[in-house]
Amino acid sequence: MIVTMLQIGAVAGIAFYLYRLRAGIKARNSQTWDSLLARLRPDWSARELSDQFLWKEGLSATSEDAWERMEGPKGLWVMYQNAQVMLQMADYAAKNSDSVDRLLLETLRSDAMHIRVCVLMALAQYGFSKAGEGVRINAFRAATMYTGMAARMTQLLQEIAPVMVPDFVAAM
C-alpha cells in the first residue's frame, strides 16, 4: 500500500515538474524585446554608482560609498533580478539574430552568472554579519560587474535593436 502511494506521488511529482518545464519554455519562446525590457526593475539604478555605467565599465565610488548608494540589500536584489533579465535578453538576441557577436553573448552570460553568485554571497554574509567589510567588498564586486554587463548589453542592443536602446537606458 505504501509503495503504491509512493509511486503515485513520484509520478505526480514528475508530471508537475514536466508541466512547469513546458510552461517555462512556452513563456520563454513568446518573449519579445518589450516584454523583457518591462521586466527590468527600475526601483534602483546603478546611476547612483556611476554616471556613465551604460557606456563604460567601472564605478566612481568606493566600496563603502557604493554600499550606501545601492541601499544595501535592496540594490543587491535588483542587480540579481536584472542580471537574469539581461541574460534572457542575450539569449533572445542569439535566438533571433544571426549577426550577433558570439563572444559578446558569452561574456554577457558569464557576467550574469558571476553577478548572481556575488550577490548571493553578499546577501548571505549580510544575513550573518550585517554590513561587514566582506559584504561591502562582494557588493562592490557585483556592482562593478553589473555596470560592465549593462555597458555590454547597451552595445549588444546598439548592434541588434538600436530602437530599443532608449527604452533600455530609461529602464536601467
Average pLDDT of each block of 10 consecutive residues along the chain (172 residues)?
87 90 78 84 71 61 76 87 90 83 88 91 83 80 86 86 81 76
Q: How far, in Å, CA of 162 to CA of 69, rounded? A: 30
pLDDT at 2: 85
Domain boundaries, given as residue ranges, for the chain:
1-30, 32-171
pLDDT at 102: 85
pLDDT at 58: 61
pLDDT at 80: 92
Q: How far, in Å, CA of 144 to CA of 87, rounded? A: 17
pLDDT at 23: 83
pLDDT at 52: 61
Q: How far, in Å, CA of 63 to CA of 11, rounded? A: 50
pLDDT at 100: 80
What global pTM score does this model have? 0.76
Is 142 in contact with 76 (CB distance < 8 Å)? yes
